[in-house]
Amino acid sequence: MASIRRTLSPYQDRSHQNGGSSSPFSLNSPSHKHSRFDLGVPRFIHRKVGPYRTWMRSVYSCMLFFMIGFLLGLAPFGEFEDVRSRDFSFPPTLDVKEDIVVDKVELTVENTKDYFARKQLIVITPTYNRPLQAFYLNRLGQVLRLVPPPLVWIVVEMNVASTETADILRGMGIMYRHLVCANNLTNIKDRGVHQRNRALEHIEHHKLDGLVYFADDDNVYSLQLFESIREISRFGTWPVAMLAQSKNKATLEGPVCNGSQVIGWHTNEKSKRLRRFHVDMSGYAFNSTILWDPKRWEKPTSGLIRQLDTIKEGFQETTFIQQLVEDESQMEPTPLGCSKIMNWHLHLEALELGYPKGWLLQKNLDAE
Rg of the chain on CA atoms, in Å:
57
Give the residue, 165 or 24, on which the prediction is more confident: 165
What is the tens place of the pLDDT at every residue in 59-94?
888 888 888 888 877 776 555 556 566 666 656 655
Inter-residue contact 325 to 300 (CB < 8 Å): yes
pLDDT at 265 over 80: yes
* pLDDT attached to residue 349: 67
Q: How confident is the model at residue 303 (pLDDT cuts 50, 70, 90)?
A: confident
pLDDT at 11 over 50: no
Beta bridge partners of 262: 257
Stated pTM of the model: 0.66
Can you tell me the mean pLDDT for 256-271? Answer: 85
Percentages helix, strand, coil for the chain (3-state, rounded to 5) are 35, 15, 50
* pLDDT attached to residue 362: 58
Can you tell me the mean pLDDT for 274-280? Answer: 90
* pLDDT attached to residue 35: 45
* pLDDT attached to residue 187: 77
What is the tens place of the pLDDT at every residue in 311-352?
888 889 999 999 999 999 999 999 988 989 999 988 776 666
Q: Compute CA 176 distance to the chain's CA centroid, rounded to the nearest angstrom.
A: 21
13 has binding-site annotation:
no
What is the tens place of the pLDDT at every residue in 28-37?
544 444 444 4
Beta bridge partners of 237: 284, 333
Indicate which residues carry an active-site annotation: 317
* pLDDT attached to residue 67: 87
Lowest mean pLDDT among 68-72, 112-116, 189-193, 273-277: 112-116
Distance CA 347, CA 345 (A): 6
Q: How far is it between the farthest Cα atoms of the chain? A: 189
Distance CA 268, CA 263 (A): 17
Can you tell me the mean pLDDT for 201-207? Answer: 97
Across the chain, mean pLDDT equals 79
Q: Which helix (H) or strand (E) holds 134?
A: helix 133-145
| Inter-axis angle of helices 133-145 and 163-172, nearest 10 | 20
Distance CA 134, CA 166 (A): 11
Beta bridge partners of 345: 242
Q: Judge residue 309's burial from the number of C-beta atoms within 10 Å of its C-beta, 0-12 exposed, 13-18 middle, 19 or more buried.
A: middle
- What's the Cα-to-Cα distance from 152 to each of 145, 182, 193, 212, 217, rounded to whole Å? 11, 22, 20, 10, 15
116-362 CATH pick, 3.40.50.720, 3.30.460.10, 3.90.550.10, 3.30.1330.10: 3.90.550.10
Q: Judge residue 318's burial from the number of C-beta atoms within 10 Å of its C-beta, 0-12 exposed, 13-18 middle, 19 or more buried.
A: middle
In this structure, what are the phi and psi dihedrals at residue 146, rounded to the nearest 5 degrees? Answer: -85, -10
What is the tens place of the pLDDT at every residue in 111-157?
555 556 899 999 999 999 888 899 999 999 999 999 999 999 999 99
What is the tens place of the pLDDT at every residue in 205-226?
999 999 999 999 999 999 999 9
* pLDDT attached to residue 181: 94
* pLDDT attached to residue 296: 87
Distance CA 106, CA 314 (A): 57
* pLDDT attached to residue 170: 96
Distance CA 343, CA 205 (A): 30
